[in-house]
Amino acid sequence: MAEKDSDLIYEICCGFCEDYTIKREATFYCKQCSEGFCHECVKYHNILFKTHSTYGREDKKKWSVAKAKLEALMLCEQHPDHRIELFCEDHSKLCCHLCHSHNHRQCSKINLIGVKAKAMHQKGDLRKCSATIELEQITIEHEIDVINKRLQRLRTTREKAHADIKLARYQLNDILDTLERNSVQSLNTVYETLQKSLHSHLSICLKAKDDLQLIKHSIKDIDDEKYLLSFVSIAKSMELVSKAQVMLKEMPEQKHSVVEFRSNKAIEQMLFCLSGLGDAIEMKQEGKAGEILKCNNKTMYDVHITRDVNYCDISGICELSSGYMLISDYSNCRVKLLDIEFKIAFKGIIQFTFI
């Protein structure tokens, strides 16, 4: 069934029907004509071109796959229902009639594409165009490869930065742990001082209590006729009572002492003002991929340890997220850990053998 101005899209349309703005799917294909035909139009084609061979859907492998792509090239990008027929010299733009009437009416140099195509064919521009496209494809493929490598490098640096953030957090945890231990130690010192003072006063009170209790029981056993013993007992009692009164007057200063913790508000305010553990910034690396880098200066570091029997031969280096460096000493068959100042950070031995 044929449909005029249909919205259906076919892989290859019948060329004859398309000339009459009818969209009908091609069921036969002629290589000599490079054209597709529907089941009705193929009858007229076979009458006019008896020597041409047509192929049905069962022989679709023999159809020209590029035909549909070539047909698509001839369609206007802005108006897909119209074919390209004009070329604007002023804008170097391919146009259909709608493009000409809407956007290029004021242009002074509008030519039919047939005129431009003939001149281009004579100059051999098509071959040059193919060579230019091929060269540009190579350039783009190289750029794609470079971008993929940059994406991989970006992912790697992101992972390293994430590890650095965790390391910064661990370092802050260590600092906070140290501050906590110092605060607890200070608390214990104050507590033990006050506790010692209270225990001292408690001992004095208990002794005074026992002394008063003892003298009290002693007075009960003294007869009124024993004047000398009574006098001594009364004098000692008054002395003990006086001491107890003085002691009790001095007690209130220590009696209500307690311990409390007052946090350092400066730490809280500083942390509250921070938006993060640091800033994530873009580091632009100068130079292009494959560019040879030039070394401006160098510094020598001694990584020899007493157990090495040969001269150090560094065959591999790996930088850790902490900034430390792992190096492999080939001649001594060891792995050594260097700190950020390139000094030996691990005094033990990590030894390996070659298999």
For 103-149, how does the pLDDT look when each residue is reduced to its tens digit (9 = 90+)?
Answer: 888 888 888 887 777 776 656 666 677 777 777 888 788 888 888 88
Show the CA angle centred on residue 15, arms to residues 14 and 18, nearest 5°. Answer: 85
Are 267 and 213 in the same domain? yes
Are 240 and 315 in the same domain? no
Are 252 and 206 in the same domain? yes
Using pLDDT thresholds of 50, 70 and 90, give the confidence band for residue 155: very high
Which one of 57, 73, 89 terminates a domain? 73
Contacts of 111 (CB under 8 A, 6+ apart): 86, 87, 89
Between 266 and 294, residue with greater pLDDT: 266
Using pLDDT thresholds of 50, 70 and 90, give the confidence band for residue 67: low
Compute the average pLDDT of residues 265-290.
75
In-domain check, residue 304 = yes
Are 305 and 233 in the same domain? no
Are 192 and 249 in the same domain? yes
The whole-number pLDDT of residue 254 equals 54
Which one of 73, 90, 118 terminates a domain? 73
Are 262 and 311 in the same domain? no
Are 312 and 260 in the same domain? no
Are 308 and 261 in the same domain? no
Q: Number of folded domains in the chain?
A: 3
In-domain check, residue 303 = yes
Are 230 and 300 in the same domain? no
Predicted confidence (pLDDT) at residue 175 exceeds the cutoff of 70 = yes
pLDDT digits (tens, 9 = 90+) for 295-312: 777 888 888 888 888 888
Which residue matches tokens 């009639």?
Answer: 97
For residue 287, what are the CA distances in angstroms to 141, 247, 282, 294? 20, 85, 16, 11
For 12, what's the count of Cα atoms within 13 Å in the CB-facing half-sphere? 23
In-domain check, residue 301 = yes
Are 246 and 326 in the same domain? no
Are 26 and 69 in the same domain? yes
In-domain check, residue 165 = no
pTM of the complete model:
0.43
Share of the chain above pLDDT 90, in %: 8
- 26: domain range? 1-73
150, amino acid identity = R
The whole-number pLDDT of residue 116 equals 76
